[in-house]
A and B are shown apart, each in its own frame.
Chain A
Amino acid sequence: MKKRKERIDRGIKVRSEDIFALCSWREMLYLSSPRLLPIVGLFVLSFVLSLYWQKVLLSVSVIALLAISWDLLAQSGMVSLGQALFFGMGAYLAAIMNHYWGWSPFLTIPMATIFGGLFCTVLLLPVLRLRGIYFAMVTLILPIMLVRVIEATRIFGGTEGISGLTPLPSRWFELYIIIVALLAAFFGFRRLMGSDFGLVLKGINDNDRSVMNAGINIYWFKAQALFIAGSAGAFAGAFMTHVYMFVGMPVFALDYSILPIAAAIVGGAGTFAGAMFGAFLLVPLSEILRGLGGLRIVFYGLFLVVFIVALPEGIFHYIQRKYNQFERWVEVEK
């Protein structure tokens, strides 16, 4: 007797996709709970965690922000290997404004966000024509190049970096500013990709010549996506600069490029929720494994391999399917 797995959409999913969702509490809950979970979860976490884990939550949020910014680019057909460029650009801009011009963090962070995004877009403008691996290579090289420029010309503190920057008012302030920013970016990006603007970006990913053939200037749309993603990354950098009260060459390190990608892939590429989920899994894991000393990287790598082999679609896609569908075994032949 052979059996096969049958998947059926929950009826409630169909019913709750329209105004009719307002008919019953059950349907409203079904629809709203996945959206409320990150909001409530983050605020509850900020209360219950110890000081050490609050610091971890801070870096989790930063990696999550970089991961969803990576995902936005990936969904628009630009695979980037250089989130560190966005991060480092924001970090250095904020530090320069604070150290040399004496601006307060309340001014440097927004300014670094906007101009960080702008500078990254301008830097990458010449390579917007490149696709796939060629674009990825350039994004990988740029942050490495900037590090060498800083090292060789000894500008902005050279290898020493700039220290003694103005801190943010309190650790609670730090925590909430990054949580609010992360949630705003997360829900904002989701809405953006759901709009017709997002549809054009997805079209560019799918078939850019066809979009060109619709009379749309794809480079203008790609530049806008790059600016949005770059700004999100630059915000993370500017924020961390003021948290650490220091900026140095490590902000351009490969970690800030690779970790967000790993988070997005493990969590489920193509969905912002997946990218965020991945960050919330990988960063704390790396903290827990700290006790293992030298073997930490080995176990970490092993974990990544296991997850990618077992769930190549990503954890979030798996959870999403379980949430939206029934599964049952049905007989196909006797």
Chain B
Amino acid sequence: MSASPLLNVSNLSKYFGGVKAVNAFSFKLMEGELLGFIGPNGSGKTTVVNLITGFVKPSGGEVTYRGQNITGWAPYKIVRLGIARTFQMVRPFYQLPAFKNMIIPLYSPRVKGMAGGKYGDRDAIALDLLEEVGFERDSFVAYKIASVLPQGYLKRLELAKGIALQPDLLILDELFSGLSLAEVASIVPIIEKLRYGGMTIIMIEHRLKELFRIADRVIVLNFGEKIADGLSKEVMESDEVKKAYLGSEED
């Protein structure tokens, strides 16, 4: 492969006072890859995502997207370049109906630009997108106020809001957490479909079994540092990863 990486993160660091949340973290992401981030709780996975998407300013290091340095940019500018994310703690607009939640990403300048300066019928596009992620069209669930929706639908809504932005790189922050096995099984094909459509995806997950089935590559973090990077199966064989997850015997 000759292509330069889509996303290049080098020596990214974030310190909260004396705590090194992320320390000299580097990785490269190729176009079309599905990368998994795993690691114990508090290992800095979400902070890495926050650093890439601009929600947190890094203490050091560099993030380059398609050769452009985007370190410390405002989140909305990064989204306009084509990096969309979902939140681990869902962030819907609770006062609005589910399909009206979709209007706000669809109103984004990025979507307008990609549609050639026209928005089109946003309500219809919103309902189509929601159907894609599993809001059944023949039920009224897409018209319900977000505050009454169960967690499963809120996660799907979060995913739909990400897809609505037509990103090149989609970052899913623990999309599967809090979902039942059946719900996860129904969302996996949606992600695979996006990936075969050419989208590059980063997934943060604790559901290792489901992640290993779809991920090309996995990066393991512990205490803000990368401890392993490689194919799913190989990574779990590594002693350091076992130690991070299960604890070492000397302690």
A202 x B79 contact (CB < 8 A): no
Report A-chain residues with C-beta under 8 Å of the C-beta of B74.
Answer: 212, 217
CA gap between A321 and B80 in the complex, in Å: 42
Report B-chain residues with C-beta under 8 Å of the C-beta of A212.
Answer: 55, 74-76, 79
Question: Which A-chain residue is minimally distant from B86 (CB atoms)?
Answer: A213
> Of B19-27, B90-98, B218-226, B236-244, which binds chain A?
B90-98
A196 at interface (Cβ–Cβ under 8 A)? yes
> Of A138-146, A203-211, A223-231, which binds chain B?
A203-211
Question: Which A-chain residue is minimally distant from B111 (CB atoms)?
Answer: A215
Report A-chain residues with C-beta under 8 Å of the C-beta of B87.
Answer: 209-210, 213
CA gap between A200 and B85 in the complex, in Å: 18
Given A199-B104, A203-B104, A210-B87; A215-B93 close (CB under 8 Å): no
Q: List 12 A-B contacts (CB under 8 A).
A: A196-B107, A202-B96, A203-B104, A206-B93, A206-B95, A209-B87, A212-B55, A212-B76, A213-B75, A213-B87, A213-B91, A214-B107
B165 at interface (Cβ–Cβ under 8 A)? yes
B165 x A196 contact (CB < 8 A): no
CA gap between A212 and B94 in the complex, in Å: 16
Chain A residues within 8 Å of B, Cβ to Cβ: 196, 199-200, 202-203, 206-207, 209-218
Report B-chain residues with C-beta under 8 Å of the C-beta of A202.
Answer: 93, 95-96
B75 x A200 contact (CB < 8 A): no
A216 x B107 contact (CB < 8 A): yes
Contacting B76 at CB < 8 Å: which of A199, A207, A216? A216
Report A-chain residues with C-beta under 8 Å of the C-beta of B85.
Answer: 213
A200 x B84 contact (CB < 8 A): no
Question: Which B-chain residue is minimally distant from A199 (CB atoms)?
Answer: B103
10 tightest A-B CB contacts, nearest first: A215-B79, A215-B108, A214-B105, A210-B91, A206-B93, A212-B75, A203-B104, A215-B110, A215-B80, A214-B108
B217 at interface (Cβ–Cβ under 8 A)? no
Given A199-B100, A214-B165; A209-B76 close (CB under 8 Å): no
Contacting B107 at CB < 8 Å: which of A200, A207, A209, A218? A200
CA gap between A181 and B107 in the complex, in Å: 30
B109 at interface (Cβ–Cβ under 8 A)? yes
Chain B residues within 8 Å of A, Cβ to Cβ: 53, 55, 74-76, 79-80, 84-85, 87, 91-96, 100, 103-105, 107-111, 122, 161, 165
CA gap between A200 and B104 in the complex, in Å: 6
Report B-chain residues with C-beta under 8 Å of the C-beta of A206.
Answer: 93-96
A215 x B76 contact (CB < 8 A): yes
Q: How far is the CB of B70 from chain A (nearest CB, A)?
A: 13
Which of A206, A214, A216 counts the most B-chain CB atoms under 10 A from its CB? A214
CA gap between A210 and B53 in the complex, in Å: 12
Question: Which B-chain residue is minimally distant from A206 (CB atoms)?
Answer: B93
Additional 15 contacts, C-beta under 8 A, given A215-B79, A216-B109: A196-B103, A200-B107, A202-B96, A203-B96, A207-B92, A210-B92, A210-B104, A211-B104, A212-B55, A212-B79, A214-B79, A214-B161, A215-B76, A215-B109, A217-B76
Given A215-B80, A215-B165; A207-B91 close (CB under 8 Å): yes
Report A-chain residues with C-beta under 8 Å of the C-beta of B80.
Answer: 215
Question: Which A-chain residue is minimally distant from B119 (CB atoms)?
Answer: A196
Report A-chain residues with C-beta under 8 Å of the C-beta of B107.
Answer: 196, 199-200, 214, 216
Report A-chain residues with C-beta under 8 Å of the C-beta of B79.
Answer: 212-215
Q: How far is the CB of A218 from chain B (nearest CB, A)?
A: 7
Report B-chain residues with C-beta under 8 Å of the C-beta of A215.
Answer: 76, 79-80, 84, 105, 108-111, 165
Q: How far is the CB of A214 from chain B (nearest CB, A)?
A: 4
Report A-chain residues with C-beta under 8 Å of the C-beta of B110.
Answer: 215
Which of A215, A216, A217 counts the most B-chain CB atoms under 10 A from its CB? A215
CA gap between A202 and B100 in the complex, in Å: 11
Report B-chain residues with C-beta under 8 Å of the C-beta of A217.
Answer: 74, 76
Question: Which B-chain residue is minimally distant from A212 (CB atoms)?
Answer: B75
Given A210-B87, A213-B91, A215-B76; A199-B96 close (CB under 8 Å): yes
CA gap between A215 and B109 in the complex, in Å: 7
Which of B55, B76, B110 counts the most A-chain CB atoms under 10 A from its CB? B76
Contacting B55 at CB < 8 Å: which of A200, A209, A211? A209
Question: Which A-chain residue is minimally distant from B105 (CB atoms)?
Answer: A214
